[in-house]
A and B are shown apart, each in its own frame.
Chain A
Amino acid sequence: MSKLFVEQFKDEIYRCIRCGYCRDFSRYRDSAYRVCPLRENDATPGFEPYSARGRLMLIRYVLEGKLSLNEKLAELLYTCPTCRNCWDKCYVAQTKLKGEHMLNQVEIYEAFRHDLFKAGLVSPRHKQILDWAEREHNPYLEKHEDRVKWIPENVAPPPLKGEVVYFVGCTASYRQKHVAAATLRLLRKAGINVAVMGSEEWCCGSPMMRIGHRDLAKAVAQHNVSTIEKMGAKTVVFSCAGCYRAFKVDYPDLGLKPTFELRHVIDLARQLVNEGKLTIKGGFKGKVTLHDPCHTGRHLVHLKAELYEQPREVLAKIPGLEFVEMERNRRNSWCCGAGGGLRSYNSDVSLALAKNRVREAEKTGADILTSICPFCYRNLSDAMQMINSKMKMYDLVEILDMVTE
C-alpha cells in the first residue's frame, strides 16, 4: 500500500489518550451539554467509531497495518458532520505545542477521507456529486447555466466587475435563493454596488474537501481566486458559512493565498449599521433564537475569526425583536447536521441532528429560528417540516433586509 495521506498526522493520532471526552462530556460552567451530536437521542447506533475516540483508534489501526481500508470503515468516517465540537472539548486538542493545537480531529478525518476517496471507497451518492460538480460546478445536480437564476427579475443585474464581490455559493444560488436576493438588496441599500461572478462562479470547493477530493477542490479554488482577482475585487462577501470557511481555511490549506479581504455579510452589515450606512427602521415583531453555524464558529476559532458576537450585536439593534439564547450557543452550538458531507451521505442521520437542534430551539419559546448560513437554513427548515414545528426559519440577512431601509 502506498503511503497514506493521513500519515502526515501520525504524531497527532498517537496523542489521543482515549479519555472519551469527545462523546458526552458536559460542562455546567458554560452550558456545554454533551459533545458528539451523533450520540444524542440515538441519532446513530452510537458505537465508539461514531465519535472521535473510536475513529482515531481505527485510523491508528490502519497506520499500524492491523486494519485495511474497507467499506464499513468508510461509512464510519463519512457519518460525521465534522462539527468540530470534539476538537473544541478535547483537552489534548486545546493544549498547544509550539503555538499549534496538539490534535486536530477534523483535519485528520478529512485527510483520511482523502485516502478513502483515492481507494475508491466513496459512496455512489458522493461520487455522483463529485462527477457532477466537476462538470457543472455545483453539488446539487443542477445545470451550471442556471446558477444566476437567483437574481430577481425586478432588479438591475449586478455588475461582473467591482471592488466588492458577493460570492453567492451553490446553496443560495440553487436552493435558498431568497438568501442571495436578500443579500443583494441589503448591500445595495448600503450603497454598495456589489458585483457577482455570474457564470464564472464555481462551487467554493467545500463539498469536495469534505468528501476528500482535494484535487478537484484545488482546481475550483484556483479558478475562483483567479477570477475574483481579475474582477478587481478588494473584498469578497459571503452569505454562506461553508463558502466563507472554505476561502478562509481550505484555500490556504490548498496552497492558495487570496489577495482580497473576506467578509461574511453579517459582519459587514454590523459595520454598515454602526457607520450609519444601513438604517434599521424597526417594524419587526417576534421572539428570535440564533443557531451558530459550525463553519463560522468552531471552524474559525483557531484563527480568532469566529463570528459569534456579530450576529448578536445586529439582533440587539432591531427594535421589537426579542432575542433569546438556546442552551447551547457560540462554541457549544449544537450542529445542524448538514455539514461535512453528511447531508448528502446520509440524510436520515443529518436530519436527525437537525431535529434535535430544532427541538432545542423550540425549548426557548422563540417563534423564529435564525442563522447565518443557507445550508444550516436548509437542514433546519427541512427538520421543522418533518416534526411539524411551529417555528419559522429566516436567515439573519433576510431579517436585516426586512428591517432596514
Chain B
Amino acid sequence: MLSTPSNLVETLSNIVGSRYVSDDINIRLAYARDASPEPPRICDVVVRPASTEEVAEIVKAANRFKVPIIVRGGGANLVGLPPGSGGITIDMTRMINVVEVDETSMSVTAQTGINWSLLTYELKKKGYRTPFYGPFSGGAATIGGGISNASAGLGSARYGTVADILLGLEVVLPMGDVIRTGSGANPYARKFARWGFGPDMTGLFVGDQGVFGVKTEATLKIMPWPDEQTFGSYTFQDLEKACRAIYEVQLKHIPTNIILLEPDFNRLFGKAGFRGLENVPFSVHLHIEGYTKEEVEKLKATADDIMKKNGGQEVPPDFPSWNFLRPWEWQPRTGPLGQAWITACYKVPILDYPDHRVLWYRVLDKYKEKMKEKKIDFYVASLVVENALDPMNVIYWFDEDEEAREWVRRIWRDLIENEIKHGAIHYWLGKVIGERVAKNYTGPYFDFLRTIKRSLDPNNILNPGLLLL
C-alpha cells in the first residue's frame, strides 16, 4: 500500500498550498454529509483547488496513491455521498471565476465551482442570463454539479435543462489529462458550438454523476436579460384538466417557468396569505418573460385562453410573482413546523402524470400509521421541464427523531423504486437513487457504460460506486 494520510497530505499541499488541504477530523466531518438524511461518509483529506492545473495534479496524485476522489460542488445534494469511505474530497467552490463572456458567440465560460445565483448575478451586470438558470437549489448548487446531474429547474419550461444550454466543457479526465469538448477543442475556434469533430463528447459528461471526469470549466449559452415579465395563476378542480392545460401551453412554448401545486401546498400558501389558494386541490402558476410589454401580454393572453378553456379559474398571481421574482429563494425545503425534508425529482410526460401520481399514495398507504405516529408529512409540487412534469414528492419529518429519520429513508426508497417501475426518469441520482436506477439499465447498455468507465478510469478513482460503476 503506497498511501498514508501523511504523505498524501504533503503531496496535496505541494499542489495547492497547505492552507487549502486539511485532514483534521472537524473539517472532514463537516464534509461527510450532503443535504440528505443519509449517514456520514468520512474522507481522509479535503482539498480546495483554485485552477484546472491543480485539479489535474490532484487527480494524478490520487492515481499514484490509489485513493478515491469524491468531487463536491455545493454540497446540496439530496442523494447521499458515494459508497465506501476515505479518499480525497475535492471542494470545487474556490473555482468561481467567470472566465469569459463572449458576446460574439453569446456564451459564458466559467469555472464550475461557481453557483447558479452567483453566475446569474455576474451576468446580469452585463445584461445577460443563461436561458436555463439553475436548479431551485442554485443558491449553493454549482454549475459543475448541475451538469453532473443534468439539472432541471428555473427556465426549464421554455429552455429545457442544463444539457440544452451547454456548448462545451473543460474536463480533467480520471488519469489527469485535460480536454476541452465542443468547438473549444479546436485551438482556432471560439467556444460556441457543441458539435465540431466526432460525436457529442460534452454529452458524455452530462448526468455522469462525475464518474467520467472532473469538470473544471463550462461554456453555456447566454441571452439578453428579459426585462419584461408577467405572471398567471389558475386553480383547477381536476388534475387531468390541469395537466391538459399545461400540455397545451407547452405546445405553444410560452412560459419560462410553470409550477403545479397540489392540495397540501395550496393550503399552506393559502394560509400564508397567497390569495385564492387555500381551499383548492390544484393550482398552476405561470412565469412569462419577454423583451416588450406587448410581447409578454400577448403570450399571457394565449396562455390565459388555454388555462380557462381547460377549466382553470384565474386567481391573483401571488405565488409565482413571489417565487420567480426571488429565484432560488423558495424551495419546499423546510417544513411549516421546521421539519427537515427529502424529495426525489424526476420526469414523466405531462399527460401521464395523473395516472403516475397514484403510485405514491399506494406506497404511502403502507406506512399510514407509522407516518402519523412519527409525524411524517407528504407534500407535492411539480415544475415543468419542456414536455415533462417534474414532481417533487416532499417528505417532512423532525430530524432530531432518529427513528422518524430511518422511517423516512425507508419510505423514500420505496417511493423511488416504485417511481422507476412506473417509467419515471430521475436525473439527480447520487448514491441512493443511482443504485436503484442503474439496476434497470442492464445488458449491452450497461456494459457499454462500464467499458467507457474502465477505459477512462482504470484505477476507479472518480466517485467510485456511483451509477454502480
Contacts and interface: CB of A to CB of B under 8 A. Distances in A.
Contact of A18 (B26, B76, B94, B338): B76
B22 A45 contact: yes
Given A91-B333, A102-B334, A45 B48 contact: yes
Contact of A26 (B19, B35, B117, B336): B117
Contacts of B124: 28
Given A19-B76, A72-B24, A92 B117 contact: no
Contact of A23 (B19, B20, B93): B93
Q: In the complex, which range does the number of interface residues on chain B fall in? A: 35 or more
B127 to A, nearest CB: 12
B121 A33 contact: yes
Interface in B406-441: none
A14 interface: yes
Contact of B338 (A15, A27, A46): A15
Most buried by B among A10, A23, A26: A26
A25 B93 contact: no
B96 interface: yes
Interface string A69-94: 01011001000000000000001100
A58 B329 contact: no
Interface stretch (A47-55, A118-126, A255-263, A277-285): A47-55
Given A34-B118, A47-B48, A25 B139 contact: yes
A404 B293 CA distance: 49
Q: In the complex, which range does the number of interface residues on chain A fall in? A: 35 or more
Contacts of A28: 117, 120-121, 124
A25 B340 CA distance: 20
B276 to A, nearest CB: 22
B328 interface: yes
A1 interface: no
Nearest to A71: B26
B223 interface: no
A19 B140 contact: yes
A17 B30 contact: no
Contacts of B29: 57-58, 61, 66-67
A10 B338 CA distance: 12
B421 to A, nearest CB: 29
Nearest to B47: A47
Nearest to A45: B19
A387 interface: no
Interface string B14-42: 00000110101111011101110000000
Interface in B98-145: 115, 117-118, 120-121, 124, 137, 139-141
A91 B74 contact: no
B361 interface: no
A347 interface: no
Contacts of B140: 19-21, 23-25
B338 A58 contact: no
A97 B117 CA distance: 27
A76 B115 CA distance: 24
A95 B328 CA distance: 15
Interface in B47-79: 48, 74-76
Interface of A: 10-12, 14-15, 17-21, 23-29, 33-34, 39, 42, 45-49, 53-54, 57-58, 61, 66-67, 70, 72-73, 76, 91-92, 95, 97, 102-103
Give the top 4 A-B pairs by smallest Cβ distance, nearest first.
Answer: A20-B140, A25-B139, A48-B30, A54-B30
